[in-house]
């Protein structure tokens, strides 16, 4: 076992599972989901920093890549945590928090999400030979920045909209939400795509399979827990509102003017 634990990818996965399953025990005991998202984001931050430490090389590419993960994780984690403290619950868990088996699946899926999504960064931090920065690094970091800003601005716009009592029964269709029904998810997909691109110059052979990172994020958000759930929720709440039906007819689901 000690030999396997010398492999950064294996070690990261073991730590990831231990964190999620350990916190699952606490969450299941108290039947709460209030720190679920914070746990996921926090694990990203922990593994990004820990893998940088394990690598013991601290190349510029590694520090920038890890710093971007940490910046994203802290912002999103705190945003989601303060939001659920304000709302009191997360509707995704209405039929889950009291069912230990289903709750365990959610925490396990979160572990897989963390590890698969972080895979390109883990590969960068495990690299023992430095390479000069390339155009791909700058393209990837630029895409990360655009995605990060898109997600952060969209979250801020929706949070501000929801905090206005006059909008209690209204849907948001202003700002970034006027050109995409889910701009925060678009930003999320963009930033992880960027981090794969910036990691790719140091990859060799089958390490390029870590492209699963942005594809897995896109799959989860467009086919599993993101867009499908919110679209159903929106239709249930605003389906009898002609303005809302016109909004979903004319506004792209994700990519402005395209899809």
Segment 153-193, tens digit of pLDDT: 999 999 999 999 999 999 999 999 999 999 999 999 999 99
Question: Exposed, middle or buried: residue 175 (CB in 10 Å: 0-12, 13-18, 19+)?
Answer: middle
Helix, strand, or coil (residue 203): coil
Residue with tokens 């495990």: 126
Could you tell me the pLDDT band of residue 3, with boundaries at 50, 70 and 90? low
Residue 40 has pLDDT above 90, yes or no: yes
pLDDT tens-digit series, residues 115-164: 999 999 999 999 999 999 999 999 999 999 999 999 999 999 999 999 99
Please, are residues 27 and 20 in contact by the beta-carbon 8 Å criterion?
no
Could you tell me the pLDDT band of residue 61, with boundaries at 50, 70 and 90? very high
Q: CA-to-CA distance for 112 and 129, rounded, in angstroms? A: 28
Please, are residues 213 and 120 in contact by the beta-carbon 8 Å criterion?
yes
């Amino acid at each position: 076992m000690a030999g396997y634990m010398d492999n950064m990818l294996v070690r990261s996965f073991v730590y990831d599972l231990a964190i999620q399953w350990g916190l699952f025990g606490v969450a299941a005991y108290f039947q709460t989901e209030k720190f679920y998202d914070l746990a996921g984001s926090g694990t990203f931050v922990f593994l990004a920093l820990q893998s940088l430490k394990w690598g013991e090389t601290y190349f510029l590419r590694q520090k920038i890549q890890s710093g971007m993960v940490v910046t994203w994780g802290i912002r999103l984690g705190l945003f989601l945590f303060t939001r659920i403290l304000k709302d009191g619950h997360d509707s995704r868990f209405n039929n889950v928090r009291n069912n230990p088996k289903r709750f365990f699946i959610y925490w396990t899926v979160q572990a897989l999400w963390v590890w698969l999504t972080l895979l390109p960064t883990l590969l960068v931090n495990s690299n023992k030979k430095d390479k000069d920065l390339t155009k791909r690094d700058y393209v990837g970091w630029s895409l990360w920045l655009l995605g990060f800003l898109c997600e952060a601005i969209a979250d801020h716009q929706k949070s501000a909209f929801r905090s206005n009592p006059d909008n209690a029964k209204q849907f948001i269709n202003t700002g970034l939400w006027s050109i995409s029904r889910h701009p925060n998810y678009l930003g999320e997909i963009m930033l992880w795509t960027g981090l794969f691109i910036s990691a790719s110059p140091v990859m060799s052979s089958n390490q390029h399979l870590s492209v699963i990172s942005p594809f897995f994020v896109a799959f989860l958000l467009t086919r599993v827990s993101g867009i499908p759930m919110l679209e159903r929720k929106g239709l249930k709440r605003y389906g009898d509102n002609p303005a809302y039906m016109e909004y979903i007819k004319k506004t792209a689901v994700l990519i402005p003017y395209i899809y």
